[in-house]
Structure 1
Amino acid sequence: MRITLVGPAHPYKGGGARHTTELAHRLARRGHDVLIESWRAQYPALLYPGRQTIDVPEGEPFPNTRHELAWYRPDGWWRAGRAAGHRGPGALTVLTVFSPVQVPAYLGVLAGVGRRTRTVALCHNVVPHEPGPADATLMRALLRRVDGVLTHSPDQESLARGLARGADTRVLMAEIPPHLPETGGPPPAHPAEARRHHLLFFGIVRPYKGVDVLLRALARGAPPTVRLTVAGEFWGGSGDLRALAADLGIADRVEFREGYVPAGELAELFAAADAVVLPYRSATATQNVWLAHAHGVPVVATRAGTLPDHVRDGADGLLCAPDDAADLARALAEFYAEGVAERLRGGVRPVDPEPYWDPYVDALTAPVRPIG
């Protein structure tokens, strides 16, 4: 099958680019003829305040990748769709959706495609965790124009079905597979009994990630010798969280490491942590449990989204209620009880990606309508 993936690839950074690239490799290994239509300008700086690109790839780039799309060039959207449509009636065009901001560009791509190929919206998020007033309207317009939608959780599947209601759109769900960055080899070896007295939050810092809840829980639940590093890009800056840490009396126990963390620095970052804490208020899917486990680190997480599917409570991590500082404090106190941290670290196993990728690729390439 001839497949066009419209989505980010290197030099764009982060999980979205890694997912698009790994998916292209997986499809090509199955014998498909794959092209990535990537971006040379994906978002206006005003809408994405962080760093958008990196110099060093975090995995093997996909060779058949073009970088012609720009958010400010509607003619380029149409041309990319036209090129995808010309790949023939047996072809498939996949639009990787991260934000409703992309919808105008993707509607332009679909206008170029016409009805010459099957089209699928691969939705990393159907609507944002912190939605704006126009987000549902934009996504409804997109999901009603494509032949199929692939989502990553039952909640997202239900949301997509609601937005696409009344259209001849097939909505499927498949759990997003592991697509971890290359971090330069296996994690450093450490004695199982070693205590670092150090917790780590890793990832983009946004309100739905619940870092404020973690700060409150740290102040009341973790031993006073335990420190926390919050590492990642801060949307809106770190001022409010720094002020909260000061108000809670834990400013000297919290390090705010602002900015994107390159893959080459991850092994050292994770090696310094007793546990990764993911205090999400809401979630669809995240790679950070698997990333922590790849480095031998247990995870304390909320029961949000797919997090409880990846953390085995009491075996390789602990679970707590979302948006509940008291319950997270209870989990941190339990983690630092005698022998618990060591036992959980001993239960950590790296994820095997293969059982996730086969059904995912099957769902993406499942026929959604005949082309004639």
Structure 2
Amino acid sequence: MKIAIVGPAFPFKGGGAHHTTELAHRLDAAGHSVVIESWRAQYPSFLYPGQQTISEPEGEPFPGTRRRLDWRRPDGWWRTGRDLRSHDLVVPAVLSPVQVPAYLGILSGLRRRARVVALCHNVLPHERKPYDMPLMKALLRRVDGVLVHSEQQAELARGLTTRPVSVAEMPAHLPAAPAAAAGGAQRHERLLFFGMIRPYKGLDVLLRALAAGPEGVSLTVAGEFWGGVDETRALIAELGLTERVDLRPGYVPGADVPALFGAADALVLPYRTATASQNVWMAYEYGIPVIATRVGGFPDQVRDGVDGLVCDPDDAGSLTDALKRFYAPGEPERLRAGVRPVDHTPLWETYVDVLVTPSSLSSS
């Protein structure tokens, strides 16, 4: 089958670029002819205030990657669609409604000459704008099918389109941890919050829980701040946590990740809302437990009391209790012993099958 994935790929950073690239590799390995249509410039800077690209790819780039799309060139959107008319399947990777105008331009150029499956990482953003729902409706009503990563997201999609919606669990698409980095038994009295820092991820809830939780436990916060770090610094000072929180704002290069996970007893994911996250799988690759909230796919990924703990979202008291349970005598060691890296090969096989099989995602 001749397949085109439209979305971010290296040198863009982040989970979307990793997923697009890994999906292309997996489709290629399954015997399909694959190309990635990626971006020269994906978003204007005022819509994405962080660093968009990196100089060194943190994974194996896909050789069949073309970087022709530019948010400033709508004529290029139509031409890309025209060039994809000979393909059997076109897969726009939807990470934000901001992409929708470009995708509609591609669909216009495509003229329904290929089957189109919208691969939605988030059907609607965690922090929504008035234009998000109209844009997503416009896109999802023009495709032949929709693929999402959870039943919750499927319900959202079905509220926006009559097209078929299928669910496939999102497999890991991040580089595996070095063998030497996983499985250490040393206790550090330190927790880790990792990744892009946005309000829905609940860092403020974690800071309040840390202030009320076990004494002597520290926290490393590593990642880019969406919209600035001053508010977080003020909250840390207000809670008296200046000596206990190591704030490392900015994108974390892949070379620095092993030391961050190796110095932590657990990864904490205090999200208010979520769909799917690679960070659980990353923690398990590095051999550390996860403390997460009951949102999105976390309750299915984290085995409560076995390889981590699960608590209520947007509830500092519930998270405080979880931190105290985690640091009960012998618990960090017991939960670490329960961590097992996951074999994602079967998940990827299912994911690819759902994506390419017309009976799974067919035009209505």
Whether TM-score is above 0.5 comes out as yes
Shorter-chain TM range is over 0.9
User: 2 CA distance for matches of 1:86 and 1:286?
Assistant: 34
Amino acid at match of 1:162: G
Is the counterpart of residue 39 in structure 1 residue 32 in structure 2? no
Q: Post-superposition shift, 1:212?
A: 0.3
Aligned-residue RMSD, C-alpha: 1.3
Q: Which segments of 5 or more consecutive residues in structure 1 lack a partner in the other structure? A: none
Secondary structure of the structure 1 residue equivalent to 2:45: coil
Which residue does the alignment assign to 2:201? 209
Alignment of 1:350-365 (within 5 A): 350-365=341-356
Is the counterpart of residue 334 in structure 1 residue 325 in structure 2? yes
Decide which of 169, 173, 182 is 1:179's aligned counterpart: 173
Is the counterpart of residue 50 in structure 1 residue 50 in structure 2? yes
Is the counterpart of residue 250 in structure 1 residue 241 in structure 2? yes
Deviation per CA, 1:299-341, whole angstroms, max 9, x where unpaired? Answer: 1110110011111111110110011100100000011110000
Is the counterpart of residue 129 in structure 1 residue 122 in structure 2? no
Is the counterpart of residue 64 in structure 1 residue 64 in structure 2? yes
User: 1 CA distance for matches of 2:157 and 2:270?
Assistant: 26
Deviation per CA, 1:119-140, whole angstroms, max 9, x where unpaired? Answer: 0100000010011011000000
User: 2 CA distance for matches of 1:119 and 1:189?
Assistant: 40
Q: Post-superposition shift, 1:189?
A: 6.1
On the 8 A contact 2:96/2:124 being kept in 1, the answer is: yes
What is the aligned-residue identity percentage? 63
Is the counterpart of residue 103 in structure 1 residue 103 in structure 2? no
Amino acid at match of 2:314: D
Which residue does the alignment assign to 1:283? 274
Secondary structure of the structure 1 residue equivalent to 2:251: coil
Provide TM-score, normalisation by structure 1: 0.95
Is the counterpart of residue 6 in structure 1 residue 3 in structure 2? no
Amino acid at match of 1:199: L
Is the counterpart of residue 313 in structure 1 residue 307 in structure 2? no
Which residue does the alignment assign to 1:218? 210
Q: Post-superposition shift, 1:108?
A: 0.2
Amino acid at match of 2:37: E
Q: Which segments of 5 or more consecutive residues in structure 2 lack a partner in the other structure? A: none
Deviation per CA, 1:229-288, whole angstroms, max 9, x where unpaired? Answer: 111110011111111111111122111111111111111110000110000000000000
Amino acid at match of 1:335: F
Q: Post-superposition shift, 1:190?
A: 6.6
Q: Post-superposition shift, 1:369?
A: 4.3
User: 1 CA distance for matches of 2:95 and 2:85?
Assistant: 23
How many aligned positions are there?
A: 362
Which residue does the alignment assign to 2:85? 85
On the 8 A contact 1:187/1:271 being kept in 2, the answer is: no
User: 2 CA distance for matches of 1:327 and 1:206?
Assistant: 21
Amino acid at match of 1:101: V
On the 8 A contact 1:187/1:267 being kept in 2, the answer is: no
Provide TM-score, normalisation by structure 2: 0.97
Q: Post-superposition shift, 1:191?
A: 5.0
Q: Post-superposition shift, 1:181?
A: 2.5
Which residue does the alignment assign to 1:118? 115
Q: Post-superposition shift, 1:65?
A: 0.7
Which residue does the alignment assign to 2:150? 153
Decide which of 266, 269, 283 is 1:292's aligned counterpart: 283
User: 2 CA distance for matches of 1:346 and 1:317?
Assistant: 10
Q: Post-superposition shift, 1:187?
A: 3.9
Is the counterpart of residue 274 in structure 1 residue 265 in structure 2? yes
Amino acid at match of 2:242: A
User: 1 CA distance for matches of 2:309 and 2:319?
Assistant: 9
Secondary structure of the structure 1 residue equivalent to 2:146: strand
